[in-house]
Structures are given as structure tokens and as C-alpha cells.
Amino acid sequence: MEELFTQIEERYAFTLPQAFREFWKRGFCTIAGRNLGPHYLLLMDMEWMPLEEIAGFEFQSCHRPGFVPFATSGSGDLWCWQPAFTDARGTRVLSCPHDCYDAHVYAPDFVSAIDRHLVDEAASRHRNSDSVEQSRQRLIAVTSALQPFLSRERQESLSRICRLPVQSPLLPARVPTVWHYLLSSDEHSEILRRHLSYENMDSPVRWMEPMT
């Protein structure tokens, strides 16, 4: 594992976040064959790339330099660090769509990205309450695993979200629909503003050029 960490750092001229290293050492990102490891952190839409894949990742000709992938989404988008933007908090994380020229700044550092991902999941809408309860169990498991990496304030905030009752309003639309979730859009925005505010959050960053 240490050899792969070194290969990644040498290829990208980038020091991996200590928390990311610790995630791997604790088995949070481990997949054995087609099976998730016993301590794998299952997130809503962030799937860990194997270290070998990170070290040998083949960028397309349209990709701009300066990005380090570490996870994918279910639709094939990338989660990347942008080493040029590193400060005392860490290296910022971007959400990089596979079909859009612009990425978006997601969080100022790796742990904050996981934190925000959990808050985003709590606000995701579901067709039935059983699906929300499955999401809640995932939130509880990841929040527990994250405790050593979070401030007490953030631990308490995520724990409170995990205990929220399911909301099931009939939302106005062309076809009014009942959706189920833990956090409303307003509550989600307020939590991001209060706990995860970042000066460049969600701002676009060009990460691909038109293919010629």
C-alpha cells in the first residue's frame, strides 16, 4: 500500500491527504474481487478508485492537467483533487462530470467533501420511506466511521441529521408528487452555509477542452 501511495504522489507531484491514507489503512476503500470489504464506506455516489487505478489513470486528450482522481460516481463522473489549490485546510475537491467542460468546486478538503456528501444524501429525494431508511442506515454507519476525522461540532450535526424523522410532503409540480427525505432544500442549504461554507463552493472550473 505504501508503495502505491508513493507512486501516486510521484506521478502527480502531490502529497496525498493524511485522512485519505488513513481511510485506506482502515479498510474504508477496500474491495476484494467483487465484494466490498467489511469496513468499506458505502457512499451515495462516491465510489473509491483502487490505488492502482489512480496511479495509472489514463486521462483523455481533452482533459486539462492538474487534477488527481480518487473516486467515481455511478454515472462515470470523477471526484478529483486540484493540487494547485492547497492551503492550511487541505487540497480542494472537485466534482468533474464526464460530459461537461466545467467541473465544480465541492469542498475545501477531503474530509469536508465526505461530510458534504453525507449532508447531500440526507437531502436526496426518494420515492418511498423505506429507501430513506436505507439511506439513514448508511449515514449512521459512515458518520460513526468518520468520528476520528471530524470536529465535535460536525459529529453532533451529522448525528442529529441521522435522527431526523422522514419528511413526506406533497411537492407542487406539473404532476404533484410525494417525495420522502430527511432534509428539506432549505435545511440542506442552511447546514452547508453554517458548517461547510467555503468561499468558492460550487464555482465552475474548466477541466476539459473541446475535442478536435
Read off the amino acid at residue 185. Answer: S
- What is the phi/psi pair of residue 178, to 5°? -85, 120
Residues paired with residue 62 on neighbouring β-strands, in sequence order: none
pTM of the model: 0.92
The answer to whether residues 8 and 54 touch, using CB atoms and an 8 Å cutoff, is yes
Phi-psi region of 97 (alpha: psi -120 to 50; beta: other; left: phi over 0): beta
pLDDT grade for 212, boundaries at 50, 70 and 90 = low
Tell me how far apart the alpha carbons of residues 111 and 107 are, in angstroms, rounded to a whole number. Answer: 9
Asked if pLDDT for residue 170 goes beyond 80, the answer is yes
**CA 135 to mean position of chain CA atoms:** 15
Read off the amino acid at residue 81. Answer: W
pLDDT grade for 38, boundaries at 50, 70 and 90 = confident
Tell me how far apart the alpha carbons of residues 166 and 93 are, in angstroms, rounded to a whole number. Answer: 30
Question: Which of 86 and 212 is assigned the larger pLDDT?
Answer: 86
pLDDT grade for 196, boundaries at 50, 70 and 90 = confident
User: pLDDT per residue over 44-99, tens digit each?
Assistant: 999 999 999 999 999 999 999 999 999 999 889 999 999 999 999 999 999 999 99
The answer to whether residues 13 and 68 touch, using CB atoms and an 8 Å cutoff, is no
Tell me how far apart the alpha carbons of residues 66 and 89 are, in angstroms, rounded to a whole number. Answer: 19
- Spatial CB neighbours of 188, under 8 Å, sequence gap ≥ 6: 119, 120, 122, 123
- Any idea how long the chain is? 212
Tell me how far apart the alpha carbons of residues 10 and 25 are, in angstroms, rounded to a whole number. Answer: 20
